[in-house]
Amino acid sequence: MKGELFALLMGVSLVLAACGGSDDTTTTETADPEKIYTQSCSRCHGGDLKGRGPAADLSAIGARLSVEDIEKVIAEGKKGMAPRLIEGAEAKAVAEWLGAKK
């Protein structure tokens, strides 16, 4: 029983780590949006921003959505995307970076 509980806790920990997270001490000036994207978003949206499976193609997202709209999608999620995978200054930095993709 203890082994099963330990395995469950380890699995949950790995899932939470893979889903990103935020550090409240990060500011948009110190946040590296490409690194944050790679750690928290590229698993679904791809390293080339083209999307994988049902995940949206973000390569020209700035031509379709404003930075504010991108921040809203990050905060609220959309379709199969979970909300708040990144938050605060990290979410803002990624939204600004993606907003420049046109």
Query: What is the predicted pLDDT for the residue at 15?
Result: 46
Ordered DSSP codes for 62-90: HHHS-HHHHHHHHHH-BTTBPTTSS-HHH
Query: What percent of the chain is predicted at pLDDT more than 90?
Result: 70
Query: What is the predicted pLDDT for the residue at 79?
Result: 93
Reported for 70-77, long-range contacts at CB under 8 A and 24+ positions apart, including other chains, are: 70/94, 70/95, 70/98, 70/99, 71/95
pLDDT band at 39 (very low <50, low <70, confident <90, very high): very high
d(CA 83, CA 58) in angstroms, rounded, equals 17
Encode pLDDT of 74-102 as tens digits: 999 999 999 999 999 999 999 999 999 99
Encode pLDDT of 55-76 as tens digits: 999 999 999 999 999 999 999 9
Q: Which domains does the chain have, with CATH numbers?
A: 2-99 (1.10.760.10)
More confident site: 29 or 48 = 48
Contact 97, 67 (CB under 8 A): no
